[in-house]
Amino acid sequence: MFHMFVLFCLCWQHLICVFGSESNEIQSVSVMEGESVTLNTDVTEIHKHDDILWKYGAEKSLIAKINQETGNSSTYDVPDGRFRDRLKLDDQTGSLTIINFTTQHAGLCEVKILMAKLSSKTFSVSVYARLPVPIISRDCSSSSSSSQQNCSLLCSVVNVGHVTLSWYKGNSLLSSISVSDLSISLSLPLEVEYQDKNTYSCVLNNPISNQTQHLDITQLCHTCADSVHCCGSTEAVIRLVLSALVGVATVIVLVYDIRSRRAELSIICFILCFV
């Protein structure tokens, strides 16, 4: 007699993929974006009458199949092609390996294992993005940056989700900030004295990996006045030029509005829109 197990894969914020079954046993698997993940059936040997079917997505597309009776085993892609050349099926165990796993592979999954011996299993697969190295910069906008003995710093990262950003002094945690959202930018301040000889580092981590940037006080803490002056005035000049251009354009339109017919006005507007 054959038994059927149905395993589900639920997607949470496109990052967490849960392969669930009717049983209670849950095995968590974490995978870094770009790496491979193997979903083990824990079958040691497939018997003559066993069938293993791996299905994926709300459409329950068949992505892998073993029919031991005919000796046939194959993998298939889904209609949008996201599994192209990424699936490997182990003929002996029925385990499925997904190569170069990315967030787009999260989705509704179903695995049907039809075999003579009763067994069932649940996988919870979490996909984590590769982390960027955090960037430490001097925070010249901080009010205390004018202080003679202190230097205000910011550690920043962009486009991250499900991460924690922390400042460490040696091995001890000074401060940290966590986000669960996707694709947001984070920054965390730190104030040090110029004379400080401790080692500071800013660490970005998710549950499976981390990236560290070490602080070099002597290198970062001396350029504040210059950089603020430079960038602030450049921006001001650009803004001034832009305002002047808009003003001139408005005057031209007004003049034409008064003097010309509508057809001409719309040509001017058309040109201005392109500028």
Ligand X SMILES: *[C@@H]1O[C@H](CO)[C@@H](O)[C@H](O)[C@H]1NC(C)=O
List residues near ligand X by CB under 6 A.
34, 70-72, 100, 102, 144, 147, 150, 191-193, 203, 205, 210
Q: Which is nearer to ligand X, 60 or 191 (CB)?
A: 191
Q: How far is the CB of 63 from ligand X (least distance, A)?
A: 15
Residue whose C-alpha is closest to residue 152's, from 117, 196, 203: 196
- In terms of residues, how long is the chain? 275
- Minimal distance, residue 85 CB to ligand X, in Å: 8
Whose Cβ is closer to ligand X: residue 149's or residue 233's? 149
Residue 38: beta bridge partners? 97
Residue nearest ligand X by beta-carbon distance = 70
Residue 133: which residues within 8 A CB-CB, separation 6 or more? Answer: 204, 211, 212, 213
- Report the 10 Å Cβ neighbour count for 123: 22
Q: Least Å distance between CB 103 and ligand X?
A: 10
For residue 273 the two structure tokens come to 């829109």
- Tell me the HSE value of 153 on the side-chain side, using a 13 A CA sphere: 27
Compare residues 72 and 250 and give the one whose CB is closer to ligand X. Answer: 72
Strand 122-128 versus strand 26-32 pairing type: parallel
Q: How many CB atoms lie within 10 A of CB 226?
A: 10
How many C-beta neighbours within 10 Å does residue 111 have? 26
- Give the residue with the Cβ less far from ligand X, 208 or 242: 208
Q: Kindly tell me which of 7 and 31 has the beta carbon lying closer to ligand X.
A: 31
CB of 254 vs ligand X, minimal distance in Å: 52
User: Closest CB to ligand X among 13 and 100?
Assistant: 100
Distances (CA, A) of 168 to 133, 172, 229, 236: 15, 5, 31, 37
Distance in angstroms (rounded) separating the CA atoms of residues 26 and 138: 46
Output the CA torsion sign for 34, 57, 63, 97. positive
- Which residues, in sequence order, are bridge partners of residue 190? 153
Q: How far is the CB of 217 from ligand X (least distance, A)?
A: 11
To ligand X, the closest distance from the beta carbon of 230 in angstroms equals 25
Q: Between 30 and 205, name the residue whose CB sits nearer to ligand X.
A: 205
Nearest approach in angstroms of CB 216 to ligand X is 16
Single-letter amino acid, residue 232: G
